Amino acid sequence: MKHLYILIGFFIFFCESIISQNIDSLKLQYQVNSEPNKKVRLLIQIGHALEKKDLDSSIFYYKKALTFQKKMSDTLLARVYSSMGTANLLKGNIDICLDNQIKALKIYENHPSNPDVLKVYNSIALVYFYQGDFEKALINFNHVKSLLDKNILTDSLKVNQIKGKLLNNIGIIYDNKSQLDLALEYFMQASTHSKKANDSENLSSVYSNMGLIYLKGKRYELAEAIFTEALTIRKKENNIYGLCKSN
């Protein structure tokens, strides 16, 4: 369960940032706008805003966005499919998620430099992880890594944030495959990127995962030291959930 939580955390990281507006305000803007692409963007924002409250309602608004399919740009259509896939993954509908993400991916094949494709590959990787197909999960996580290495994003802070989470997830997969040395190698790489990004939340999770590897290898002193570092970070950040996981 710990590992699944971290993977979901990575998934949420990729979700588009929501403008700080309440849902009623977004709905009002939707009513007064007549331009199809603007209406679709507002429906996506409403759907994202509802994801933590009501996934069924979130999916409803994404489906509503699809009614503009013939009037919106193809990249916007890809975002709708990807967002709908996100909500279905969170709801546990992994087959529907995969179908939506594949539709989005086919569109992004014509727009290979669009950074939103990162979210699609990540979601597909998560589906395969939940299905226990670790090889396909690795292929898609490595697609994300390859695109980042090719500078699909130019914001170095964001790149380091994503790589910290991405490499942590790859380490988790190797842990599940009982390839502990490889898992530890990826966790160490993840810690380097998380430090560069000042991402203390992910760093504490990486340290906890490293501690688990040390425990499995009966390297108890190293395990105790790294768990202590993770706990120190969580106390400093007042991460209540993280503290519960550490105890």
pLDDT score at 30: 93
pLDDT tens-digit map of 164-216: 999 999 999 999 999 999 999 999 999 999 999 999 999 999 999 999 999 99
Residues 130, 178 within the same domain: no
pLDDT tens-digit map of 48-106: 999 888 999 999 999 999 999 999 999 999 999 999 999 999 999 999 999 999 999 99
Q: Where is the domain boundary, 128, 154, 180?
A: 154
Q: Where is the domain boundary, 135, 154, 173?
A: 154
Residues 136, 163 within the same domain: no
Residues 70, 162 within the same domain: no
Residues 137, 182 within the same domain: no
pLDDT band at residue 14 under the 50/70/90 scheme = low
Rounded Cα gap, residues 42 and 31, in angstroms: 10
pLDDT score at 7: 53
Please tell me which residue, 149 or 2, carries the higher pLDDT value. 149
The residue segments making up the domain with residue 204 are 156-247
pLDDT score at 181: 96
Q: Where is the domain boundary, 154, 170, 198?
A: 154
Residues 42, 143 within the same domain: yes
Residues 209, 223 within the same domain: yes
Residues 21, 107 within the same domain: yes
- Mean pLDDT (the chain, rounded): 89
Residues 175, 121 within the same domain: no
Find the CATH number of the domain harbouring 8.
1.25.40.10
pLDDT tens-digit map of 136-175: 999 999 999 999 999 999 999 999 999 999 999 999 999 9
Residues 141, 19 within the same domain: yes
Residues 120, 172 within the same domain: no
Residues 2, 66 within the same domain: yes
Residues 138, 23 within the same domain: yes
pLDDT score at 239: 59
Burial class (CB in 10 A: 0-12, 13-18, 19+), 83: buried
Number of domains in the chain: 2
pLDDT tens-digit map of 83-94: 999 999 999 999
pLDDT score at 236: 87
